[in-house]
Amino acid sequence: MKNFLLPLFILSAMIFTSCTRNDVNVNYRGNPEPLLKNAYIKLPLGAVKPIGWLKSQLEDQAAGLTGNLDNFWPDLVNSSWRGGDGEAWERGPYYLDGLVPLAYILNNDTLINKVKRWIEPILASSSDSGWYGPAKNRDRWPLAVANKVLMQYYEGSGDNRALNVLLKYFRYLHDSPPDWPDKDWRGVRAMENAVTGYWLYRQTGEPWILETIKSIENNSSDWTAYYEKFPWDSAAVADRKIPLNWGPDGLTAHVVNNAMAIKYPGLWYQQSKDERYKKAVFAAIEKYDLNHGQAGGRFSGDEHLSGKSPDRGSELCSVVEYMFSLEELYEILGDNRLADRLELLTFNSLPGTTTPDMWAHQYDQQSNQVLVSAAKRDWTTNGDYSNIYGLMPDFACCLANMHQGWPKFVESMWMATNDNGLALVTYGPSVVKAKVANGRDVTVSEETDYPFKGSVKLTLSMERPTRFPVHIRVPGWADSVIIRYKKNSVVVKGDSEYKIRARWKNGDQIFIEIPMNIRVEQRYNKSLSILRGPLYFSLRIDKEYKSVKINYDNFGYKGSVDWQITPKSPWNYGLLIDKGNIMRGLKVTENPIGKYPFADKGDMVWSSDSGKYIMITKDAPLVITARGIRIPEWTMKDNSADIPPLSPVKPEGDPEIIRLVPYGCAKLRITEFPVMDVTLMEDMMKQK
C-alpha cells in the first residue's frame, strides 16, 4: 500500500507543479497574491515598437508638437517641474506622460535627452517626507500623473532612483490622512494613483502598498455606485439637469473624469475580487454609449456630458484617457470588447481631432463637423474656440495631455500571457521583442496595413525552436477570420480568442485574414454610420484651411498654427442605401498610405524642410464612393450641422456620387447620415 501511495503523491505533485508553471508567467511580473491574477501582463516600455504606417504616425508626432512643445510653450519652458519658476501643477507631468513613452518607443536620443532634463529635477525634489515635485505645489493631483511618468521612465531607463521616489511617495500616502475630497480633482481622480500603486506592488511585493490603495478607494469618490445609478443619462440631458458646474456634482458629469474613472472599478476588482466591480466597468461603457455615445467609439462632453446628438463635442483629453483606461482594463480583464473599443478610439477619434502632422489639435471634435471656426456653438460649458485645430483652443489641458495617446497604444498592442506566451491585443504594424517559455527571447514582426487593410503576417524569430502559445484576438465585428500557420488553416468566429500552442522555429509565420466587410450602425435620429473594420467613414467635404489668430500668437513658433477650416462643397447629403444589400452602389478604393497616414487631399501639413505649410494632394488610404441626395432643408444651426432629419428621408432630387474617407482623415465631415432607402426610391421612380 505504501509503495502504491508514494508514486501517486509524486504524480499529483508533478501535476500541481506543471499547473502552477503554466499559470504564472515566469518572465514578467503579473499580480502576486493576494491580488486577483490579471488576464494579461503588460510588457515593459520599449518591448513593442511600431513599423510601417504606425511608425510614420509616431515620427510625425515627434516632429510635431510633442518634440517641440517644451521649446516654446511658456508653461513648459518655465515649468517648476523642471526647475523653473512657472507652472507647477498638471501641465509638466501631463506632457511627460506622453513624451516619456514616445522617446523610449522610438529610441530617439534627442527625445530621451529631453526626458532626462525633466526627470533629473523631479528625482532630486523627493523629500524626506516622501512628497516630491515643485516646492510650491501642495496638491496631490499632479503627482498622480507624475507617478505614471516615473513608472514609465523606470521601465524605459532602468533608473532605480525612480522606483525609490515612488516607494517613498506611496509611503507618504500610507502614513498621511486620506485627504481625497469630492470637490477637488485629486479626490474624483484619486484612484488614478492605483495604476502606479499596483505596478509598484508587482515590483516590490510590499503589503502596505495595498493598504494605501484600499484607503484611497474607501476615502474617495464612489464611481462604482455612480455607474450603477448613472444619474446623468439622456433624460438628464433632455431635462437640462446635467450639473454644469465645477463642484462635487459637476465633477461627476465632467467628461475627462468619466473617461478616467471607467477603469477605477476594474482596478479595485483586482484587490476586492468582487464581481460587482467588474460588472460596473461594462455597465459604464454601455451607459455611456446609450446616453452620450458618438461615432468613433467615444462619448460626448463639451465639457460636461452632453448627449448623443452628432453636433455635441468630445474633449480630446477624454479620448486619450478613455484609451488609457481601456489599455489598463484589458490587462486586468482580457475582454475582447475592451480591445475592440480601444481600436475604434485610436483609429478614429484620436486622429480625427488632430491635424495629420500633429502640429494642431482641437478641444472638441464633432461627428458631424462641417465648419471649424471661432464661433458660438451649443456646447455645455466650453468656449467659442473649442473646435479650432490649433495650439491651445479653449483651454490648454489637451495641449499638455494629448501626447500619451499613440505611444501608450503601441505599448499595449502585445502583452505577455500567464502561460508564458504572447497575446496580440490590438492590430497594427509592429515588432515585439519579449521573453517566452522559460526565458527564451523571441521577436515577432507584424506586417500589416491594418486598419486600412485586413491582411496580417506575423513572422517569428528565435535562436532555437521553442514551444510557446500565441493568443490572437479576433475582433467582435469580424464575421470570421482565417488563421493559417504551419500546415493548419482555421476559420475563427468574431469576438473570440484563438490560442495557438505550437513548437515554433525561426522564420515560422502566421497569416491572419480579417474580412473588411462594410457594415452600418444606427445612430442619432435613426441616421446611419458606415464602418469598414474598425474604421468609421465620413463624407469628404472640400475644404479651405486658413491660418487665424485667436487669443494669442502661438509664441511666434514656426509650425504652430491655428486653423479655421471652411467647407467648399455641399455637406447636406442623405445616403442612398439598400439596407438589404449594403454593398450595392458602394465601391472601395485602396490607396498607398503616405507619410501622414490620416491625411486626405486638401489638408495642410508643416514641412520643416521648406519651412512652410504645404497642401496634401493625395487621396486618403481608403475612399468609398457611394450615392447621396441633397436635403435642402438640412442646414446649419448655431454654426454646426443641425441634427440629421429623422430617417428614412423621402428622396427628392437627383442622386449624386459622393466620396467617403476614414473619419480620422476627414477634418470636415458628416459621419451620421440621414438615410434614403434605394428600394423606396425605385418604387417612386416606377410610380412616376
User: Residues interacting with Zn ion, by CB under 5 A?
Assistant: 315, 317, 397-398
Instruction: Identify which of 580, 599, 572 has the alpha carbon closest to the alpha carbon of residue 672.
Output: 572
Tally: H helices and E strands in the chain: 23, 28
Residue nearest to Zn ion (CB): 317
Which of the 8 DSSP states describes residue 383? -
- Output DSSP code: residue 209: H
Instruction: Name the residue with cell 505599448.
Output: 411
In angstroms, rounded to a whole number, what is the distance separating the alpha carbons of residues 494 and 497?
9
Q: What are phi and psi of 660, to 5 degrees?
A: -115, 140
In the bound state with Zn ion, the residue whose beta carbon lies nearer, of 340 and 364, is 364
Residue closer to Zn ion (CB basis): 48 or 358? 358
Sequence-ordered list of residues with C-beta below 8 angstroms from that of 149, at least 6 positions apart, any chain: 93, 96, 97, 100, 119, 122
- Between 236 and 396, whose beta carbon lies closer to Zn ion? 396
| Residues 6+ away with beta carbon under 8 Å from 121 | 81, 82, 83
Residue 642 DSSP code: P
Q: Among the residues of 529-623, which ranges form H helices?
A: none
Q: Which is nearer to Zn ion, 90 or 335 (CB)?
A: 90
**Torsion sign over Cα 147, 151, 156, 162:** positive
Give me the least distance between CB of 398 and Zn ion, in Å please. Answer: 3
CB of 381 to Zn ion, least distance (A): 12
Q: Please, which residue, 402 or 675, has the CB nearer to Zn ion?
A: 402
**Comparison of 407 and 662: residue with beta carbon closer to Zn ion:** 407
Burial of 305 (0-12, 13-18, 19+ CB in 10 A): buried
β pairing state of 488-493 and 440-448: unpaired
Q: With respect to Zn ion, which residue has the nearer C-beta, 383 or 494?
A: 383
Q: CB-wise, 335 or 364, nearer to Zn ion?
A: 364
Cα(586)–Cα(518) distance, integer angstroms:
9
Nearest distance in Å: CB 94, Zn ion? 9
Beta strand pairing call for 604-607 and 48-50: unpaired
- CB of 315 vs Zn ion, minimal distance in Å: 5
Of 326 and 643, the one with the shorter C-beta distance to Zn ion is 326
| Shortest spacing between CB 76 and Zn ion, in angstroms | 16
Give the nearer residue to Zn ion in terms of CB position, either 397 or 483. Answer: 397
Identify any residues that bridge with 677 across adjacent strands, giving them in sequence order: 577
Using the structure block, give the residue that is written with the C-alpha cell 470636415. 668
Taking the complex as a whole, the smallest distance from the CB of residue 132 to Zn ion amounts, in Å, to 25
Backbone angles phi, psi at 299, to 5 degrees: -125, 160
On the CB side of 124, CA atoms within 13 Å amount to: 10
Taking the complex as a whole, the smallest distance from the CB of residue 101 to Zn ion amounts, in Å, to 19
The nearest distance, CB 355 to Zn ion, in angstroms, is 17
- Smallest separation (angstroms) from Zn ion to the CB of 317: 3
Smallest separation (angstroms) from Zn ion to the CB of 190? 19
In the bound state with Zn ion, the residue whose beta carbon lies nearer, of 209 and 397, is 397
Q: From the CB of 396, what's the least distance to Zn ion, in Å?
A: 8
Nearer to Zn ion, 364 or 672 (CB): 364
Q: How far is the CB of 324 from Zn ion (least distance, A)?
A: 14
CB neighbours of residue 22 within 10 Å = 13
Asked if residue 306 lies in contact with residue 386, where contact means CB atoms within 8 angstroms, the answer is: no
Q: Any idea which residue has 480601444 for its cell? A: 342
Helix (H) or strand (E) holding 234: helix 234-238
User: From CA 110, how far away is CA 131, in angstroms rounded?
Assistant: 30
The Cα–Cα gap between 39 and 510 comes to: 23
Q: Which of 269, 270, 271, 178 is nearest to 227 (CA)?
A: 269
CB of 445 to Zn ion, least distance (A): 35
Choose between 30 and 64: whose C-beta lies nearer to Zn ion.
Answer: 64
Least CB distance to Zn ion at residue 413 (A): 25
Shorter beta-carbon distance to Zn ion: residue 397 or 516: 397
- The answer to whether the beta carbons of residues 390 and 563 sit under 8 Å apart is yes
Residue 465 CB neighbour total at 10 angstroms: 11
* CB 405, CB 664: distance < 8 Å: no
Complex with Zn ion: residue 399 or 478, whichever CB lies closer: 399
Pull the grid cell for residue 377: 456653438
State whether residue 210 is helix, strand or coil.
helix
Min dist CB 185 to Zn ion, Å, is 12
Name the residue type at position 85.
D
Cα–Cα distance between 620 and 591 in angstroms, integer? 7
